[in-house]
Amino acid sequence: MRKKRRGPPGGAGGNRVGYKNPPMHTRYPRGQSGNPRGRPKGVRNFKTDVEEILRTSIKITRDGKPRRISTQAAALLRLREKALGGDSRALDRLLQLAQIYNNEEVGPTAALPEDDAAVLETFVRRLTNGAGKLPVKTKSRTKPLASDRSKPTGGSQPRYKPKKP
């Protein structure tokens, strides 16, 4: 027997309702957008707002004189004050920023004594030769791997005796 074909639900007009088919009365009319006004012109993104805020100047009093500096410079001055005041997180952040944005190489300012220079030279030589690497601690295995079973253990005898057929 043949099954009867059923028409679309809701009548013969094709007003199916379901996944990706909302009811006709809730749909936008043809030619009308779902966002008629769209994104307003001149709306800035977050990056633009941050750049503008950091460029904005503020008034501070430094050495008894009022001065105008950028918000960015004021934030860095505040970070420096906190770092010098003993805040370890501020000190870490300030050193991190200095390392990222200072292109200068930090080198010894004064000559080292001969003993210290010799110790430092030995240390650098060991590091470059790989002798300064720390040994890696490995976990001991309780069961031998399958690849280890075929290897002899010390003598000419195989590790495991083959099964007799």
Closest CA to 62 of 72, 77, 76: 77
CA distance 75 to 57: 11
Residue 27 located in a structural domain: no
pLDDT of residue 8: 54
Residue 22 located in a structural domain: no
Residue 62 located in a structural domain: yes
Residue 68 located in a structural domain: yes
Residue 94 located in a structural domain: yes
| Segments forming the whole domain that contains residue 73 | 46-101
Q: Kindly report the three-state secondary structure assignment for every residue of 128-156.
A: HHCCCCCCCCCCCCCCCCHHHHCCCCCCC
- Per the structure, the count of domains in the chain is 1
In this structure, are residues 29 and 40 in contact, taking their beta carbons and an 8 Å threshold?
no
pTM: 0.40
> Using 50, 70 and 90 to split pLDDT, how confident is the model at 154?
low
Closest CA to 76 of 63, 95, 49, 52: 95
Residue 80 located in a structural domain: yes
CA distance 18 to 11: 14
Residue 85 located in a structural domain: yes
Query: Dihedrals φ, ψ of 88, to 5°?
Result: -70, -35
The residues, any chain, with a CB within 8 Å of residue 24's CB and separated by 6 or more, are 15
Residue 149 located in a structural domain: no
**Which of 14-28, 53-67, 130-144 is predicted with the least confidence, judged by mean pLDDT?**
130-144
**End-to-end Cα spacing for the chain:** 62
In this structure, are residues 81 and 62 in contact, taking their beta carbons and an 8 Å threshold?
no
At 95-149, the pLDDT tens digits run 999 988 887 665 556 777 888 888 888 988 888 887 555 556 666 556 655 555 5
